[in-house]
Amino acid sequence: MQIIKQRNQLTPLSTRLKAEGAKIGFVPTMGALHQGHISLVEESKRRTNITIASIFVNPTQFNDPKDLEKYPKPIEQDIAMLEAAGCDILYLPEANDIYGPITEVTDKFDLGGLDLGLEGASRPGHFAGVAQVVKILLEVTRPDLLFLGQKDFQQCLILTRLVSSLQMPITVVMCAIYREPHGLAMSSRNVRLSADIRQKAGAIYALLQNAITLLPILSSEEIQQIAIASLNTIANFKVDYFLILNAKNLQPITRQEKVSTIVIITAVIVDGVRLLDNVVME
């Protein structure tokens, strides 16, 4: 695996590879890799000729400086995992290679309101930072396919809109959530939880599954209330939101509305750690 730290080396290489007929897949990460990230690399390997991954802990998407400080950075372990997965190129930049001398959000994007609710409401400025850094990363790597994990469903919709609005010739591929044996969606934040709490956090996925079974017999509001009450009874669990929404625009579904796809989506603070999960249904 080739490790590149400067964009002025990676962009010409990517441009040359594409001119030679290579199909490039890109997996952006903030490191602290787990099998969920590796599954994205493996999907890229199946669908493209060259897989590029990036590791960059982006400061502009953390509205809480303490959260940024706590974010794990096991870089040697991450490199070993990517090499074992067969990743071709790792882009490992410093902040000045991404942003130059000023590390702040300067670009403005029309995200169609997708950034305002859910994580956007709880973490102001988060998606502005995500959109800006992903735009830069896509300009640097010039991929044909962008691989993202479904766990961050709202982010997937936002980045799909970003790519479309900027008219980038890139296909966004949303890959299935990779789960721990007890059902908890894999996340870099999971390492901050004790083994016992991680086991209990499997209840999040269990209640998402239960919500599916209740859809034919209860209203969305009733299902949401049941799930929130159930999760909040677990010690050190606090639900931020548990909602049943139109998967195309993240809006509530009216009784008269015909919807092709729904998402049941939640964020739960577990022992001080914010955990995201969702299920999507046609």
pLDDT digits (tens, 9 = 90+) for 164-186: 999 999 999 999 999 999 999 99
Which is it for the CA torsion 121, 124, 127, 128, positive or negative? positive
* Nearest Cα residue to 203 out of 227, 176, 177, 225: 227
- Which one of 3.30.1300.10, 3.40.50.720, 3.10.450.40, 2.30.110.10 gives the CATH number of domain 188-277? 3.30.1300.10
- Higher per-residue pLDDT: 72 or 227: 227
Catalytic residue among 34, 37, 126, 182: 37
Please say if the pLDDT value at position 187 is more than 80: yes
Closest CA to 278 of 268, 263, 262, 258: 263
* Chain position carrying tokens 């479904």: 150
How high is the mean pLDDT of the chain?
Answer: 94
User: What distance lies between CA 279 and its chain's CA centroid?
Assistant: 14
| In CATH, 2-175 is 1.10.10.10 | no
* Rounded average pLDDT over 55-75: 80
Our CA angle for 220, 178, 147, nearest 5°, is 95
What's the pLDDT score for residue 257?
75
Instruction: Determine the pLDDT at residue 114.
Output: 96
Distances (CA, A) of 20 to 17, 23, 51, 66, 140: 5, 9, 15, 45, 18
Q: Is 37 considered catalytic here?
A: yes
Sheet order of strands, 24-29 included: 2-4, 89-91, 50-55, 24-29, 145-149, 171-175
Domain ranges of the chain: 2-175, 188-277
In this structure, of 41-45, 58-62, 238-242, the range with the lowest mean pLDDT score is 58-62
Tokens of 207: 């209640």
pLDDT (0 to 100) of residue 125: 85
Residue 182's pLDDT is what?
A: 94
- The token pair that represents 45 in the structure block: 């390997």
Q: What is the pLDDT of residue 105?
A: 63
**Beta strands 171-175; 145-149: pairing state:** parallel
Report the predicted TM-score, pTM, of the whole model to 2 decimal places: 0.94
pLDDT at 255 over 90: no
The mean pLDDT of 20-31, rounded to a whole number, is: 97
Mean pLDDT of 94-108: 78
What mean pLDDT is predicted for residues 224-234?
98
Q: Mean pLDDT throughout 110-134? A: 92
Query: Cα separation of 25 and 145, whole Å?
Result: 5
One-character DSSP codes across 72-100: ---HHHHHHHHHHHT--EEE---HHHHHT
Tokens 């303490």 map to which residue?
Answer: 66
How confident is the model at residue 73, as a pLDDT? 83
As to burial, measured by CB atoms within 10 angstroms (0-12 exposed, 13-18 middle, 19+ buried), residue 66 is: exposed
